[in-house]
Amino acid sequence: MKPINANRVLATAAASVVPRLEGRWLSWSASARRVVAHRWVDSSEAPAVLPVPCPAATPRPGWEWLPASVQAEIDGWSHQRVVAASPACGGLSAVFAATVTHADGSSSFVKAAPCTSPAAAAYLREAQIARLLPLGVPSARLRWHSEHDGWVIVGFDAVDGRMPEPGWVPRDGQRLVAAWQQTAAALTGASPALRSAAGRPQPLPSGWADIVAGRRRLPAHAAHLATFAPSMQDLEAGFLATCDQATTLAHFDLRPDNLLLGPDRVWLVDWATLQPGPAWIDLVTLAVAASDDGHDPQTFLDTAIPDLDGARLDQALAWMAGAWLTYAAGAPRPDAPHLRAFQLRNGLLTWRWLASRRDLPGTPTLARRGGHNLRGKA
């Protein structure tokens, strides 16, 4: 297979973004760094504290897990032998993702999955998108990709970065939002080729509509929310219409383990989910993660984009909650053993936020875990 012409890396976040945010984020500790109040309305249908498992990072396999032919393919594309590999210790997939060290001491980041794994299709899509990202997007440069001997293999530049640690909102929130603003601005001028590569691979999920129609179900932890499905279906439809009409692109999976903090920049990784949608949906997703880190998601969002229309936010939250929760009710994934727990927790966190905005009963209360457990992704 011929090598892909990859985009170069845009190194630094736009300097003009940070001053606009600084005043808001410096006041976080005074007004917004608080644990979310867990409101509970008496209901015999749901427990006061839901025993929701906390998803953890999935251990990644090492270099020896790869077939010899795949190892040789990586050596060939790298033009030198791999002498060491450090598996990423974060994320949800149990397939190969590691920073590899080459014989000359240089490094790259390699992902590999057998074609029978759901990750393989995602890796192929990510490669097609990553090579077309605008220079203004802070992403790792794609070096090459290959389909070889029943495997999909992708090679990127290795970047110097770490995942946000628990307590990241007051410490790193300003930088993360600045990186999002830079990315959103760059994607506004996306090329026709990128828009084609980022075309929706399948319709966005419509969890509440599927529940109403009997096509899908809620997980046991959230079964008491089925009574709200008809009204949530209407809100969900509003967000889906917004996405259908969108002329912008959004990452759709912006969360702490898809962000890397470097000394002078923030990297956004895992681009397979890029598709048409309102750019602000990525900050809504990040705000849900902020709530799992002990912060009020509404204050987080208002600090970043204070003029977001409340009706549109409710529609997005309804869509997100329905998608997460119906995904969580799916069959276990051997290649991602903690995925369903992750989806369940995020669905309930999203519902809690929506319920607090609309004064809905039956708001689930989750045991606090004090930060995400998907740390260490390289």
Whether residue 38 is contained in a domain is answered as yes
Q: Select from 136, 157, 178 the last residue of a domain.
A: 157
Range in 25-29, 185-189, 257-261, 329-333 the model is least confident about: 25-29
- What confidence score (pLDDT) does residue 15 get? 31
Q: Which are the contacts of 282, defined by CB distance < 8 A and separation ≥ 6?
A: 180, 183, 184, 250, 251, 252, 254
Instruction: Give the integer Cα–Cα distance in Å for 219 and 214.
Output: 14
Same-domain check for residues 246 and 172? yes
The pLDDT tens digits of the residues spanning 237-279 come to 999 999 999 999 999 999 998 999 999 999 999 999 999 999 9
Please report which confidence band the pLDDT of residue 25 belongs to, taking 50, 70 and 90 as the band edges. Answer: very low
Whether residue 374 is contained in a domain is answered as no
Same-domain check for residues 53 and 151? no
- What confidence score (pLDDT) does residue 362 get? 62
The pLDDT tens digits of the residues spanning 326-373 come to 999 999 988 888 899 999 999 999 999 999 999 987 666 676 654 444
- What confidence score (pLDDT) does residue 365 get? 63
49 has pLDDT over 90? no
Same-domain check for residues 151 and 176? no
Same-domain check for residues 255 and 344? yes
Instruction: Give the integer Cα–Cα distance in Å for 58 and 353.
Output: 27
Site of tokens 């984020």: 25
Whether residue 222 is contained in a domain is answered as yes
- What confidence score (pLDDT) does residue 19 get? 32
* Chain center to CA of 344: 15
- What confidence score (pLDDT) does residue 51 get? 58
Q: Select from 100, 126, 157 the last residue of a domain.
A: 157
Whether residue 5 is contained in a domain is answered as no
Candidates 367, 377, 351; CA nearest to 297 is 351
Q: Select from 110, 134, 157 the last residue of a domain.
A: 157
Same-domain check for residues 148 and 253? no
Please report which confidence band the pLDDT of residue 40 belongs to, taking 50, 70 and 90 as the band edges. Answer: very low
What one-character DSSP code corresponds to residue 308? -
Same-domain check for residues 242 and 329? yes
Same-domain check for residues 98 and 232? no
Same-domain check for residues 30 and 152? no
What the block records as the tokens of 328 is 């969580």
- Per the structure, the complete domain to which residue 88 belongs is given by 63-157
Same-domain check for residues 173 and 256? yes
Read off the CATH number of the domain in which 348 is found. 3.90.1200
Same-domain check for residues 195 and 278? yes
Whether residue 4 is contained in a domain is answered as no
Same-domain check for residues 128 and 209? no
Whether residue 345 is contained in a domain is answered as yes
CB atoms closer than 10 angstroms to residue 305: 16
Q: How far is CA 326 from CA 101, 218, 348, in A?
A: 40, 5, 11
The pLDDT tens digits of the residues spanning 137-150 come to 999 999 999 999 99
Whether residue 337 is contained in a domain is answered as yes
Whether residue 378 is contained in a domain is answered as no
The pLDDT tens digits of the residues spanning 84-110 come to 999 987 778 889 999 999 999 999 999
Same-domain check for residues 246 and 280? yes
Please state the pTM of the whole predicted model: 0.84
Candidates 378, 349, 351; CA nearest to 55 is 349
- How many domains are contained in the chain? 2
Read off the CATH number of the domain in which 86 is found. 3.30.200.20
Residue 300 identity (one-letter amino acid): F
The pLDDT tens digits of the residues spanning 196-240 come to 999 999 999 999 999 999 999 999 989 999 999 999 999 999 999
What the block records as the tokens of 281 is 């949906």
Instruction: Give the integer Cα–Cα distance in Å for 166 and 162.
Output: 12
The pLDDT tens digits of the residues spanning 281-324 come to 999 999 999 999 999 999 999 999 999 999 999 999 999 999 99
156 has pLDDT over 80? yes
